[in-house]
Chains A and B, each alone.
Chain A
């Protein structure tokens, strides 16, 4: 392939991404990149439609919306965000393809390359930034909301306590989703927007801190005085809370234009979004894998390998991404490929070297996970139908679940999803389909 892969970054800002001759990789490579993004949007839109319809129309008898596990709420809200956000990126992607190949100028102003006119005029690169970030900011929540739902689930199961503030959790997720559509401008403080517009985006962005804090305090309230079982899914859920706090705390700083403008193109932002969107979300994925592996494959994953994986990943990712905040504050710009030859960055090379070694360690740790995953599929200990003593419906069916999930009869739901340590109950948990109805408490 001539030219190789595109180099316009994952945000694909025009004019770099809109002109075939803008650089190596901006030819066929960039065409394929835009096509891929557009295809992904189509897949995500169909999937979102499916999730929304399923949640609204397919619930078992007795499964009211407010009896759904928070995981289901998270998937439902994520699907709504996806339905509203991916359509915008899809249309932006198609316009970009037209700009690249059909001679239109949606995103390209009058520009020259090496003194030659490109033939485009009158387009607005800012239009792409608006369309991209109108998708891009909800996308952040599309990545983190399912992890929030999973984390709520795991903290409740392994603290043997009902989730603290179920309704508050649902409303917090809804308001995070709602506010997520009003803050895209905070990615564009650098674009020369009016200070009044920036102020509005800034206030809305900081408002997201409120539901996020509600969720964090509810997680802490859930584990407070619980009889905590430190299993591997629980460790990852606790790791998620830790990362959510350390990654999120830099958010209110970056939400202010006066701080964001000097920090935006530095490693500070890289550290922020990797911790909160990347690693926190991946901790949710790991927690879910360890939690649901027994249901999916009928065997348990090896617990000591899982613990090694957890501690290596937690220490490794903190060691990679925490120093980025210091690099950013010291003025180290991001996307620079060569730092060893720049005088003003010399003092920061030891820190960068440390981060590279930490990255080696973290990545080595992921092979523990890969090995554990495939080894346990074949040789893991046989799992019981409900190994974690959890209450939700997936643990009432066989392992792995039959083709129609419940073996010919559909479940009827009598209880909420987090009935743990119920006074007077025979065990410390009451299944959702257990007809011995629990008094509301």
Chain B
């Protein structure tokens, strides 16, 4: 185990960033990446929770006309169920505890200056974020070309 030699020269894997984009968007710092994961999960959990609320409303008042969304049809109920499960399992329960807090506190708790591969770490987050937008981009942006029905609102 090379921990001794590693810790002996306390050099950080990369210099502190100077530009805003390198500091907050494409950051290599595990603390910033951890927070990015955390806020991605925070966004996702509120989206997922909203979908579950629509399901609960539909179960009790199936004919209710909701503001902006109209009536929830049975097949829309199945899309709500699909998206609620996907968002909650992948983008909340997998993302927040491991990607978020793990990224932020694993290096600090074991006494390391950063993760082993900072660039890979940045890529991991942005691929995950891309996956989220691929899944829910339209849901979040809310761009609607036709009638604002829920089944058209969500792209994937």
Contact = CB atoms under 8 A, between A and B. Distances in A.
Interface of A: 1, 3-11, 23-25, 28-33, 35-37, 39-40, 42-44, 46-47, 49-51, 53-61, 63, 68-69, 71-72, 75, 78-79, 82, 139, 142-143, 146-147, 150, 277-278, 281-282, 284-285, 288, 292, 296, 335, 337-341, 349, 352-353, 355-356, 359-360, 363, 366, 370, 373, 392-394, 397, 400-401, 403-406, 408-413, 433
B108 A405 contact: yes
Contacts of A397: 108
A406 B128 contact: no
A43 B153 CA distance: 26
Given A11-B85, A37-B131, A403-B16, 16 more contacts: A5-B154, A7-B81, A28-B155, A29-B154, A29-B156, A33-B82, A44-B124, A54-B115, A57-B2, A59-B1, A63-B110, A68-B109, A360-B56, A394-B105, A404-B10, A409-B10
Contacts of A33: 82, 86, 135, 156
Contacts of B84: 10
26 contacts: A3-B151, A4-B154, A5-B82, A6-B82, A6-B156, A32-B155, A37-B90, A39-B127, A39-B130, A39-B134, A40-B131, A40-B132, A51-B106, A54-B115, A55-B106, A57-B2, A60-B112, A68-B109, A72-B106, A75-B98, A285-B97, A356-B60, A359-B52, A397-B108, A405-B107, A405-B108
B59 to A, nearest CB: 6
A392 B139 CA distance: 41
Nearest to B149: A4
Contacts of A363: 49, 53
Given A39-B130, A57-B116, A394-B108, A1 B155 contact: yes
B3 A5 contact: no
Contacts of A5: 79, 82-83, 139, 151, 154-156
B135 A36 contact: yes
Interface in B21-76: 29, 31, 35, 41-42, 45-46, 49, 52-53, 56-60, 62, 74-76
Could you tell me the dominant secondary structure of chain B's interface residues? helix
A50 B3 contact: no
Contacts of A370: 42, 46
A63 B3 contact: yes
Nearest to B77: A337
Given A32-B156, A285-B96, A366-B49, A59 B3 contact: yes
Contacts of B140: none
B9 to A, nearest CB: 9
Interface residues of B, number: 89
Contacts of B89: 10, 139, 143
> When A and B form their complex, which 4 residue pairs have the shortest distance between CB atoms, in order from nearest?
A60-B111, A10-B85, A32-B156, A7-B78
A352 B62 CA distance: 13
Interface in B135-155: 135, 138-139, 150-155
A110 B35 CA distance: 48
Contacts of A82: 98
Contact of B31 (A139, A282, A400): A400
A186 B115 CA distance: 36
Contact of B101 (A59, A146, A335, A401): A146
B6 interface: yes
